[in-house]
Amino acid sequence: MATSSMKSIPMAIPSFSMCHKLELLKEGKSKGQEDHEGLSYEFQEMLDSLPKERGWRTRYLYLFQGFWCQAKEIQAIMSFQKHFQSLPNDVVLATIPKSGTTWLKALAFTILNRHRFDPVSLSSDHPLLTSNPHDLVPFFEYKLYANGDVPNLSSLASPRTFATHIPFGSLMDSIEKPGVKVVYLCRNPFDTFISSWHYINNIKSESVSPVLLDEAFDLYCRGVIGFGPFWEHMLGYWRESLKRPEKVLFLKYEDLKEDIETNLKKLSSFLGLPFTEEEERKGVVKAIADLCSFENLKKLEVNKSNKSIKNFENRFLFRKGEVSDWVNYLSPSQVERLSALVDDKLGGSGLTFSLS
């Protein structure tokens, strides 16, 4: 995976074609190009130099630093890479989209703030009851550095907790400071694909036609999905977790579903706040698991009607949360193709998944 960071964009006098393109954007005549609004001439020229494929939610995905992403995501990532300054006790939650991001944010936030907001007594002022997890743990690329912004992070409480979908190769230079911890959660590629397909078709722009299952599956198997290829995304964090387990904790969605309390203890210990014997006797671990469960989060009013990521409704973040839902969608030939791909790309790495 490419690891170079683009630090600056050379200035250029905009050509007539670029000016004309911007006029079309302003007039709304360039179908599917809403995601380019607000981008500079120079940035659009850089985009034009990148390989591109049909997008899932927007018209195009661009190959940037070795992974596929949207134009606005590239803008935010470049601002993040240039300006973010880590602190020794920062926590970064990393995922590829639709692999349990919302769940991980809820769990990490509740663990880190359990002495301030008791999950056992669960008073009405607990933030998770009135705020979506994405509001409590902000994304680098969708919130803090969106639109190329440079946020002031000095007022954030310690430990500062962030989230990202950025692959490790493009993240590592920004979080190399000793003491920064990364928690990575991934999900079996079959369920990740189905969840992504449903979500994207729910939130896509009206100017972009729906992505049919067969077309989406082909793109996915070719690695063309947000922040993909999925295998490189997973392997980047997996290998780093083996190399530096004190720096990167690697978790699997299926393991959390099977034994949430054991994995909560693992997560809290990694974050430097292990549960005490007294907390375990009081039922703190179980209380956190219950509070952050898919079923509980889905029924909260804030997750039914509000919007936390851009202009996307929170309700689309909660569909089924099940393991092996892919069996209801994929044909035998698709299962065979994706199984062979997973074996080829992950084989020999030690990273495996249970599909049932």
Give the residue numbers marked as catalytic.
Answer: 165
Going by DSSP bridges, is the β-strand pair 307-309/60-64 parallel, antiparallel, or unpaired? unpaired
Residue with tokens 């995304």: 233
Q: Is 17 helix (H, G, I), strand (E, B) or coil?
A: helix
Decide: 42 and 9 in contact? Cβ < 8 Å.
yes
For residue 209, report the phi and psi dihedrals to the nearest 5 degrees. -70, 150
C-alpha–C-alpha distance, residues 8 and 41, integer Å: 14
CA 225, CA 32: separation in Å to the nearest integer? 17
Kindly report the backbone phi and psi dihedral angles of residue 117, in degrees, each rounded to the nearest multiple of 5, phi listed first.
-125, 100
For 277-328, what is the HEC assignment? HHHHHHCHHHHHHHHCCHHHHHHCCHHHHCEEECCEEHHHHCCCCCCCHHHH
Task: Please name the amino acid found at residue 295.
Answer: E
Long-range contacts of 153-159 (CB under 8 A, 24+ apart): 158/87, 158/89, 159/89, 159/90, 159/91, 159/112, 159/271
CA 211 to chain centre: 20
The dihedral of CA 109, 114, 120, 125: what is its sign? negative
Question: Residues for the chain: how many in total?
Answer: 356
CA distance 65 to 87: 25
Beta strands 91-95 and 181-186 are: parallel
